[in-house]
Every structure is written in structure tokens, then in C-alpha cells.
Amino acid sequence: MNRKLTFFDEPPLVFGYNQSAVDPRDGLCLFGPYENFNSYSIQVGVVGTASGIQLYKDYVQKLQSPIYSPRENSTQRPSFPGFEAIYGITWSPKPALETIIKDDALEKCLKLTSLGERTYETASLYLEKMLKVQEEEETKIDIWFVVLPREVWKRCRPQSDDSDMPGGLRERLKKYKEGQKTLFDELNEEYEELLLKYSYYPQFHDQFKARLLQNKFLVPVQLMLEPTLRFREKYRNRPYDDDICAHLAWTQTATMYYKLGKLPWKLNRVRDGVCYLGLVFKRFEHFNSKGFACSAAQMFLDSGDGTVFKGNVGPWKSPNSKEFHLDEQSAYELLDKALNTYFHKMGNHPKEVFIHSRAFFNDDEWRGFQKAVKNHGESISLTGVRIKKSDKVKMYKDRFDAKSEYGNLRGLAWILGDEDDRTEAYLWTNGFIPRLNTSSSMEVPSPLRVNITRGETNIEQVLEDILSLTKLNYNACDYGDGLPVTLRFSDAIGSILTAVDKIDTAVLPFKYYI
């Protein structure tokens, strides 16, 4: 067994003027974003209560000025210089469009006793307002902000205290769905309406995003809670300290810039012609589709931008394990769709395709993937990689001193096997970060267990790519993530795609899902 550790340098990122840095905040401060607008003012639409819209205006005004971190924490959470100073574009506190949710209308929705109905009606209240004003007004909106009171977060999610559906109603709806109609047309209509409401997963964020896609509403949307706009914790409504306020400003503005269609940064050393796919599986949890799962794939190019493909719905859960697997035809269709999109974007086929998954690939799946690759050219190299968080291995230093009190470094890897058989490794994507002089983990970090399960590729190259892909979380502005972006958002994307029974989405950019 190999007892040597390998260390991978922190992957650099590229910013404005093709300058590089390893920390996104350093690069944005010094060089600005990688992709720039030319003298641009953002057109924002806002929907929320009257008090929520005012909080939004105060929030944007606060982001125009620097937000300082305490001096002792300035390396860990750098100060925020101000929105326009970083991104070079104007963001006015006054929205281009605003539509007000009346307090009594929202309160009426939130008082509904059933979680399914409550979430559906609350989401409908916001959605219908947005669709109506978007249809009536001629102003072109770049991004919508949906401002939600803390009570919506508390009352419209599966963790709410009350149950989703009374047991007797569940049985009656089940019989009605199976064809047992009632004697009264009015009751049939009521059951049809209830079946519609319970066909959506009762989690506001996921349901709202899914229904936007269902309505072909292709304007980026940012959901924000009122406590966040006040720089307060959503859980207890307590104020954050200055350190966290700067971090929130970095995170929220980087996310918005990406949703506007521009890359704040990109990877510096990803090889040309490489395509990374992350497989997504999510089981339906709501009433109408229990037992089925939706498949999808996230594709990331060497530029760092991402695209999401919805696959087929089916009974993908393996009967003898907790894993999900596609049949041969569904695997073929999913990868074929991704390769067609790559060719449309790039004008040629990729040289290498890496498929990342949390599970091993079975024979049927792999035959489908190989068939898709052959359909696009024999020269494409195809590799299947299983990536899973592991708590089976911990690494401790034999001694500590003042210079190394935080333990092992982010970027360390333990490659198993000998020189002729190196297909498995442990990679520490969390750990001590010299640039920040602290660890990205609150405890002894656990590594990712990485297995090359199909294909033949150098394990060092696979590990280096995975470490690089932890730098592409545009939904935050952190030094690095614990998971590669190919898997980081798989649960979130799956939750949106399964929040609605039938959602026929086109191939859409990643920004519509985060």
C-alpha cells in the first residue's frame, strides 16, 4: 500500500485583465470580474410586502459603501469595498419595477392549516404578481428579487410543525386519483384542485423555482429573506457581526453578478476540450409521484459556466441498494443531450468527458453512455468517477507547533494502490488554508473518497480537476468548497426538478437553479 501523501497546489482563478489569484475576493478587489459589462445599470424587479421592499432598498444602499471586517479577521473574511467599486456597474436602490404583496393576503395564505395548501397558495400569491407585472410592463428586467418574511420560511417547508395532509383526505384523494369519482360535480372539482396543490412539493423555494420554469419564466430570480436584508440571522433574527456582514455582501453580490449572465471568475488551468458532467437523482416525495425519481445532469465546460439537463423520470432506485441507476436508453439520451449542447456551444466535440456521481456505474448505464459517445465521435475519451464524502479516514499530525496548529492542509491526497493500479484516492478539499491562516473545517476534516470506476485516466489528473471544481461555486464567494461544483448542487437541482409532477424544461443555464 502506498503510504505517501501527495499535495496539489491551490488552483488559481482568472479575473479581469487575465490576472490570477487563488481567493475570489482578492481577485475581485484587485482586478474586477473576469467578464465585464460596458457602462451598465442593472434593471431590477422586486416583489414583496411594503416593508420587505423598503428593506431591499436599504440593503442595496448599504452595499454601495464599504463593509469592514475587524482587523484580526481581515484575512479570513476580507472587507467588502462596495458593489460598484468591485463590479464596475450601477445598482440603484430604487427598483425598475416593484409589486407589493398585501400583508392581509399573505397572512391569509399562511393561516391555512395544511402544509401543502399553504405552500401552494403562498407561492401562487408571489408568482402571479410577478407574472402579471412582467406581462403588463415593457421594462426589460435583468433579475427579480423575491423578498420573503421570515414567517414564509418557517411555515412553508416540510420541517413545519403541522402535517401535510389529513389521513382521511389522503385516502379519499388516492381513490379519486385511481378513478373512483364522486356523485357531485362540485366535489370532483374540489378534488381536482386539491390534487393539483398536492402535486407540488411543499417547500417554498423549490416549488417556486419549479413553477417559474413550468411557466417558462426565463428571468433570473433571487429569493431573499427579510432578515438577510437586515443582515440578521434568519433562524433567530439576531444581528450578525461586521465579520459576517462582509461575508454576506461578497456572497450575495457574486451570486447576482453570475445570474446577470457574466462570470465573476473562471478557472485558470482547466484543459481545453474537457467536459464535466455531474449526475443528479432525486426521488419524488409528494403525493402523486411517490416511488419515482427524476434524473438530470449538470454540465460544466472549461470556461466554468454550467448547464442543466433534465433526464427521464422512472423507478431508478436499485432494489438491493440505496443507489440510483439509469437504464441503458435513458443513460444514452441524457449524455447525448449534453454532447449535442456542447457541440452547439463550442462548435466541436469535447476531447474528454468526465462523469461524476455519488454511486458506481452499472453495466446498463455505462453501455448507454458509451453509445452516446460513439454517436458523436470515437475520439472522445469517457471516464466515470465516483465521489463521496468519507468519514472512514482521518488524518492527524504527529505533533503541532505554532506554525501548524490547524492540522492537515487543503489539497492533500492519499493515493491508494501501486503504480500499476491507481484508481482510488482520498482527497482533502477542506483543511488548513495558508492564505487565510485558518482551517475551512471546524473539526478534523474528512476527505472525499474518489474512485475511477470506468475508463482509464491518470488519478492525479482526476484529483487536480476535482480540487479545481471546488472553486466554481458562484452561489457563494468562498475560498473553496468541500465538494466539486458537479455534485455540490445536485440535491438542490433535484429538489427543484421534483417539486412539480410534470415539468418539461428546456436545456437551461445553471443560473436558473441556484
For 287-345, give the secondary structure using H, E and C: HHHCCCEEEEEEEECCCCCEEEEEEEEECCECCCCCCECCCHHHHHHHHHHHHHHHHHH
Of the candidates 287, 478, 489, 458, which has an alpha carbon nearest to the alpha carbon of residue 381?
Answer: 458
Q: What per-residue confidence (pLDDT) applies to 422?
A: 82
Q: What per-residue confidence (pLDDT) applies to 193?
A: 56
Q: What per-residue confidence (pLDDT) applies to 174?
A: 58
115-136 and 103-110 helices, crossing angle to 10°:
150
Range 266-512 classified under CATH 3.30.420.10:
yes
Give the residue-averaged pLDDT of 139-164: 84
Check whether 175 has a pLDDT greater than 60: no
Task: Kindly report the number of other CB atoms within 10 A of residue 399's CB atom.
Answer: 6
DSSP 27-75: HHHHH--SS--SS-B--EEEEE-HHHHHHHHHHHHHHTS-BPPPGGGTT
Q: What per-residue confidence (pLDDT) applies to 368?
A: 95
Q: How confident is the model at residue 399 (pLDDT cuts 50, 70, 90)?
A: low
Query: What one-character DSSP code corresponds to residue 354?
Result: E
Q: Kindly list the distances between the CA atom of residue 383 and the CA atoms of 57, 276, 277, 380, in Å, as whole numbers in the listed order.
A: 48, 10, 10, 10
Cα separation, 338 vs 301, in Å, equals 11
Q: What angle do CA 113, 116, 119 make, to 5 degrees?
A: 90
| CA 144 to centroid of chain Cα atoms | 18
- Provide the grid cell at 7: 499535495
Give the residue-averaged pLDDT of 134-147: 90
In this structure, are residues 250 and 165 in contact, taking their beta carbons and an 8 Å threshold? no
Q: Which of 14-28, 399-413, 472-486 is predicted with the least confidence, judged by mean pLDDT?
A: 399-413
Check whether 156 has a pLDDT greater than 70: yes
CATH class of 36-164+202-259: alpha beta
Percent of the residues in the chain that have a pLDDT greater than 90, as a whole number = 47
Q: How confident is the model at residue 492 (pLDDT cuts 50, 70, 90)?
A: confident
Torsion sign over Cα 483, 485, 491, 492: positive
In this structure, are residues 58 and 98 in contact, taking their beta carbons and an 8 Å threshold? no
Q: Where do we find the cell 414567517? A: 151
Of the candidates 143, 154, 106, 122, which has an alpha carbon nearest to the alpha carbon of residue 222?
Answer: 143
* Torsion-angle region of 33 (φ positive above 0: left; ψ -120 to 50: alpha; else: beta): beta
Q: Which of 187-196, 245-254, 365-374, 391-400 is predicted with the least confidence, judged by mean pLDDT?
A: 187-196
Q: How confident is the model at residue 192 (pLDDT cuts 50, 70, 90)?
A: low
Task: Kindly report the number of other CB atoms within 10 A of residue 403's CB atom.
Answer: 6
Cα separation, 134 vs 143, in Å, equals 11
Q: What per-residue confidence (pLDDT) applies to 223?
A: 95
* Residues sharing a CB contact under 8 Å with residue 198, sequence separation 6 or more, in sequence order: 116, 164, 165, 173, 286, 287, 288
Across the chain, mean pLDDT equals 85
Over the stretch 16-66, which tens digit does the pLDDT of each residue have? 999 999 999 999 999 999 998 877 889 999 999 999 999 999 999 999 999
Check whether 199 has a pLDDT greater than 70: no
Cα separation, 428 vs 432, in Å, equals 10
Percent of the residues in the chain that have a pLDDT greater than 70, as a whole number = 84
Cα separation, 413 vs 332, in Å, equals 33
Burial category of 321 from C-beta neighbours within 10 Å (exposed 0-12, middle 13-18, buried 19 and up)? exposed
Torsion sign over Cα 414, 435, 66, 72: positive
Would 36-164+202-259 and 266-512 be classified into the same CATH topology? no
Domain ranges of the chain: 36-164+202-259, 266-512
* Residues sharing a CB contact under 8 Å with residue 437, sequence separation 6 or more, in sequence order: 75, 76
Q: How confident is the model at residue 106 (pLDDT cuts 50, 70, 90)?
A: very high
Helices (H) and strands (E) in the chain, counts: 16, 19
Over the stretch 422-457, which tens digit does the pLDDT of each residue have? 899 999 999 888 888 888 887 888 999 999 999 989
Cα separation, 315 vs 327, in Å, equals 10
- Provide the grid cell at 427: 482527497
* Torsion-angle region of 208 (φ positive above 0: left; ψ -120 to 50: alpha; else: beta): alpha
Check whether 173 has a pLDDT greater than 60: no
Strand partners, 356: 278, 385
Over the stretch 271-292, which tens digit does the pLDDT of each residue have? 888 999 999 888 876 545 556 7
Q: Where do we find the cell 425519481? A: 293
| CA 86 to centroid of chain Cα atoms | 24
Cα separation, 249 vs 60, in Å, equals 10
Q: Where do we find the cell 467536459? A: 275
Residue with the bigger pLDDT between 161 and 504: it is 504
Residue with the bigger pLDDT between 417 and 194: it is 417
Give the residue-averaged pLDDT of 322-345: 89
Q: What is the pTM of this model?
A: 0.87
* Residues sharing a CB contact under 8 Å with residue 487, sequence separation 6 or more, in sequence order: 278, 356, 357, 358, 387
